[in-house]
Amino acid sequence: MKTTDDLPFATSGTGYAAPSAEAESRLRGLLERGLPLTPRPWRTLAEQAGMAEEQVMACVRRWQADGMIKRLGLVVKHRRLGLQANAMVVWDVPDERVAEAGRRLARETAVTLCYRRPRRLPDWPYNLFCMIHGAHRDRVLAELAAIAERLGLGDIEHRVLFSTHAYRQCGGRYVREAAA
């Protein structure tokens, strides 16, 4: 692995050689664990991944532009802020209505996630999932009732699955350990 001192392009403005796929994979693994909280976090990551600081920033910008990175910033643990009521609401929506219902639910500010998933009959008849966070169970239920009314989903069979305990809450680990 090269050190930063070996890299000829560490300070120039343009024309960087593309980092190797291995280096990019290492960077992905490092980024999944979060930025080092140092004045120059990209340089620290660059040293660890065997890249130049500018290459790291270029990679991150490319991943932001192509959608690989959805957002970059502070990843909050909602429970630790007291947002204890975490409701997964599951709906059994007729197939012809599910996309429209999903799009409309997703526009609600209280809804933080909204996905279509397969039914697994007979055990699991629900095909639309959304998440609602709040400080209190009552507030979440009131919000859900208001949303269902507003979107005309009152007739749709649904269940509210509040979480009662978090055994783990953290970011994904997609990169193989050997590469990270």
Partner 1 sequence: MHCQAPTIQAPNGQVQALDALDRRLIDSYQRGLPVCTRPFHTIAERLGSSEDEVIARLERLQALGVLSRVGPVFDHARAGASLLAAVAVPEAERDAFAELINAAPGVNHNYAREHDFNLWFVMTAPDEPELEARLDGLEARLGVPILRLPMLEGYHIDLSFPIPWAELERA
Applying the rule CB under 8 A, the residues between 137 and 176 that interact with partner 1 are 139, 159, 161-176
Please, which residues have CB within 8 angstroms of residue 80's CB and are 6 or more apart in sequence? none
152: left (phi > 0), else alpha (psi -120 to 50), else beta? left
CB nearer to partner 1: give 5 or 177.
Answer: 177
From residue 8 to residue 37, the character string flagging contacts with partner 1 as x (rule: CB under 8 A) and all else as - is --------------------x--xxxxx-x
CB of 3 to partner 1, least distance (A): 19
Find the binder of partner 1 among 8, 18, 124, 150 (CB under 8 A).
124
CB nearer to partner 1: give 50 or 128.
Answer: 128
Angle at 39 between CA 11 and CA 20, to 5 degrees: 45
User: Minimal CA–CA distance to 144: which of 85, 78, 79, 84?
Assistant: 85
User: Minimal CA–CA distance to 94: which of 119, 111, 121?
Assistant: 119
CB of 14 to partner 1, least distance (A): 16
Applying the rule CB under 8 A, the residues between 57 and 96 that interact with partner 1 are 57, 60-61, 63-64, 67-84, 86, 88
CB of 144 to partner 1, least distance (A): 14
Q: Rounded CA gap, 125 and 117, in Å?
A: 10
